[in-house]
Chains A and B, each alone.
Chain A
């Protein structure tokens, strides 16, 4: 009955530095949470300087190292702005690791093809790191500065193919274009593959459509607004198939990662 292990912990900031532009990397000492993290899980952070904004903010866990974990975040509003001004030594409250993450590929199994948009890259790093076989990461963004942590993936020995909508870096266009090209490439060495994706909802929808068209398995990490993060408030639901109909499931608990075939896209904003 009890879900996967999670806990609340006061974590100390080890580093909180600008990655580029609006993106920051926050490293926290969290000896209890760090060892439990699975790829695709998230942490729910309470940002103490926020007073009138009550809720915690959810962030995918980017990297885990010894007794620390880190997140890669973009400043988009009051919580992330305030967070970006916090300094090493200051403390936050974290609940984690939360959610049902990606299925780590089996040795000798399908080749993982990762599809990421923006900070979606952060959610996929652990998956790449813990995968027994290397694959390809397709990363897309609006501009050059939205293409994050490529070097880390390359350092793992993964191939990275970047696209930008304005053509300022990599191939010009949408991330699904090179993905489609790879799937359709008759000369590709990859026989058996599986898609994993994290990014904006329209991107996930496009990946889901490709997976359905070519009948390949795909796991998608859905980005829904959250409140409690632990399954009690029923804020974060998305419609998933159930028998002949559909039902709501919680992104924070049954997700954020869902099998693409389960998602009822007509019901998603």
Chain B
């Protein structure tokens, strides 16, 4: 035993135990940069028999508002080429139901829980934030301002910079918990939204939620979702999400959780190179519940192969034209968007 420990202490710097996979989201430390996406992992407990939740960076739970929500009629999901369309309608137990039914399990985990919250008014967001602040032991709150499947909630806050800032500021006043603002992809340019969230006190961003989309059954001539339209997720959205993360990373200093079609360590690394500090596995959980763990293992292997000691070295390390070399330990790209315009021209904050 003692010999073994001694051996570990003497490990060369790029040996397994010397790798640093931990990352910071505001004051929240994750043991590794891989979490799961809200709505694709239930409340954690459902997957507890299929993988060791304590290996994750964090568990992120399904969106919760103050009161229970029944959700949309069925069909609620439809499989499409390399993706999934969903319009669940944020079904959930409400704050009290969550605390009673799921919190006893979650608070027993060794890894933090990120609670995804939403409301239909600024006040409701703040009230939910206050309730979870009072609960104690919550890792962070993720503000969902970007659900495409709810008329009066979600997306309207994510596609209006002023409303977005109000929601974030109200939650900031309501809690000292780390706040992660989950942005909508359904905007002309994400930079001003990212900046608005940062300026209003968000500690981190989550990019991206699902893309508004639609599919039709040609035999019945009916939409394949009862809600008619839904949100598109899965591998088919990854390149679009990578671009959003890259653009947002140039606009803000706060860390980003990148998501959209992560299935492999290579996908996660791509998000990190684009500027994400952490990643979330979403739709892939549905077909391969072990995905997050294989991503973590693959990330470790990539770091060893490339002699990367600290996973943060990957963050923002993409080499775009006009950039000479990757920053050694950068947390984000060294250059501002104006100095380093993307091909096609930078669409500045309007």
Interface residues of A (CB under 8 A from B): 1-3, 5-8, 46, 52-56, 93, 95, 224-225, 227-228, 230-238, 247-248, 253, 267, 269
Could you say which residues of chain B place their CB within 8 Å of the CB of A56? 286-287
Q: Binary interface profile of B, 224-240, with partner A (CB < 8 Å = 1, else 0)?
A: 00000000001100000
CA distance A235 to B62 in the complex (A): 13
Q: Binary interface profile of B, 48-83, with partner A (CB < 8 Å = 1, else 0)?
A: 111000000000001000000011011111010111
Task: Point out the residue from B71, B84, B235, B285 that lies within 8 Å of A234, measured CB to CB.
Answer: B71
Residue pair B82, A231 in contact (C-beta under 8 Å): no
Question: Is B321 an interface residue, CB under 8 A from the partner?
Answer: no
Which B residue sits closest to A79, measured CB to CB? B79
Q: Binary interface profile of B, 20-54, with partner A (CB < 8 Å = 1, else 0)?
A: 00000000000000000001111001111110000
Which A residue sits closest to B90, measured CB to CB? A234
Residue pair B287, A55 in contact (C-beta under 8 Å): yes
CA distance A40 to B291 in the complex (A): 28
Distance in Å from the Cβ of A41 to the closest Cβ of chain B?
A: 14
Question: Is B199 an interface residue, CB under 8 A from the partner?
Answer: no
Could you say which residues of chain B place their CB within 8 Å of the CB of A228? 40, 285-286
Could you say which residues of chain A place their CB within 8 Å of the CB of B91? 234, 237, 248
A-B contact pairs, 24 of them (CB 8 A): A2-B49, A3-B49, A5-B49, A8-B50, A8-B289, A53-B81, A54-B83, A54-B84, A55-B84, A95-B289, A225-B75, A230-B50, A232-B40, A232-B42, A232-B46, A233-B39, A233-B86, A233-B88, A233-B286, A234-B76, A235-B76, A235-B77, A235-B88, A269-B74
- Of the four ranges (under 10, 10 to 19, 20 to 34, 35 or more), the interface on chain B belongs to 35 or more
Residue pair B79, A2 in contact (C-beta under 8 Å): no
CA distance A55 to B77 in the complex (A): 11
Question: Is B123 an interface residue, CB under 8 A from the partner?
Answer: no
CA distance A238 to B71 in the complex (A): 11
CA distance A267 to B70 in the complex (A): 13
Could you say which residues of chain A place their CB within 8 Å of the CB of B45? 1-2
Q: Is the interface of A mostly helix, strand, loop or mixed?
A: loop
Residue pair A95, B84 in contact (C-beta under 8 Å): no
CA distance A8 to B235 in the complex (A): 22
Could you say which residues of chain B place their CB within 8 Å of the CB of A238? 74
Which B residue sits closest to A267, measured CB to CB? B73
CA distance A267 to B71 in the complex (A): 13
A-B contact count (CB 8 A): 98
Known: A54-B82, A233-B39, A235-B74. 4 other contacts (CB 8 A): A1-B104, A232-B40, A234-B62, A236-B74
Distance in Å from the Cβ of A228 to the closest Cβ of chain B?
A: 4
Which A residue sits closest to B283, measured CB to CB? A54
Distance in Å from the Cβ of A79 to the closest Cβ of chain B?
A: 9
Question: Is B307 an interface residue, CB under 8 A from the partner?
Answer: no
Task: Point out the residue from A53, A227, A247, A253 that lies within 8 Å of B70, measured CB to CB.
Answer: A247
Residue pair B82, A52 in contact (C-beta under 8 Å): yes
Distance in Å from the Cβ of A69 to the closest Cβ of chain B?
A: 18
Could you say which residues of chain B place their CB within 8 Å of the CB of A5? 49
Residue pair A6, B50 in contact (C-beta under 8 Å): yes
Residue pair B46, A248 in contact (C-beta under 8 Å): no
Residue pair B42, A231 in contact (C-beta under 8 Å): yes
Which B residue sits closest to A247, measured CB to CB? B70
Question: Is B346 an interface residue, CB under 8 A from the partner?
Answer: no
CA distance A179 to B104 in the complex (A): 48
Could you say which residues of chain A place their CB within 8 Å of the CB of B41? 232
Could you say which residues of chain A place their CB within 8 Å of the CB of B39? 233
CA distance A54 to B79 in the complex (A): 7
> With A5-B49, A54-B84, A231-B42 in contact, is A46–B288 under 8 Å at CB?
yes
Residue pair A230, B47 in contact (C-beta under 8 Å): yes
CA distance A247 to B68 in the complex (A): 11
> With A1-B104, A237-B76 in contact, is A227–B71 under 8 Å at CB?
no
Residue pair B71, A248 in contact (C-beta under 8 Å): yes
CA distance A1 to B75 in the complex (A): 28
Could you say which residues of chain A place their CB within 8 Å of the CB of B288? 46, 93
CA distance A53 to B285 in the complex (A): 14
Could you say which residues of chain B place their CB within 8 Å of the CB of A54? 79, 82-84, 234-235, 283, 286-287
Distance in Å from the Cβ of A179 to the closest Cβ of chain B?
A: 28
Question: Is B294 an interface residue, CB under 8 A from the partner?
Answer: no
Residue pair A53, B77 in contact (C-beta under 8 Å): no
Q: Binary interface profile of B, 95-124, with partner A (CB < 8 Å = 1, else 0)?
A: 000000000110000000000000000000
